[in-house]
Amino acid sequence: MLKAAKNLLNGFARKVLDLDDTVKPVSHLNYFEDYLDKFNFNTATNDLELFLSELKRKHLVDEIIVASTRGSMIVSSNGNGISDAVSGAALFNYIQSEMPKSETVLVQSNGWKMMIPFNEKLYIVKASSDLSTIELKVLAKELDSFLVKNNWIQGVSKIFKLN
């Protein structure tokens, strides 16, 4: 009887604490609409290095790494992507084991390091400012469609150093 009451109270507490109080970041979105209207980003290319460079400018990020969820690097926009892929995947997998419903991981340390899983890959983004979950998903979808279209996800690791 005591166990049933405890389970009932725990279930009620989970429902109450799991309320979604997020609001649409209107000012943030207005800024990006204005930014995108002022600049032209040519992402219609088959060159991975050029695509990553344009994607970094478009989303105002410093570095983009695509890794498997086990830590092997697929694509990196700089030269040290292997260590970031391994540490990022380990961190994300640990957080997933502790909080299984988590969607993204944001870590602030000398800027921001953000991780989001998409299509069985882990997208690791470094930037001086944090990105919203929506922005991370858009970046991941855009890069994933490029990788699929150009057959970059055959398990071949590429490291590119972009200036």
Q: Which residue has the higher pLDDT, 136 or 10?
A: 136
Model pLDDT, residue 156: 41
If you average pLDDT over every residue of the chain, what do you get?
Answer: 81
Model pLDDT, residue 34: 75
Domains and CATH numbers, the chain: 45-159 (3.30.450.30)
Confidence of residue 161 (pLDDT cuts 50, 70, 90): very low
Is the pLDDT score of 87 beyond 70?
yes
Say which residues have a Cβ less than 8 Å from residue 84's Cβ, sequence separation at least 6.
63, 65, 67, 73, 76, 124, 126
pLDDT in tens, 39-77: 677 677 787 888 888 888 888 899 999 998 888 888 888
Query: Is the Cα torsion angle 145, 106, 156, 77 positive or negative in sign?
Result: positive
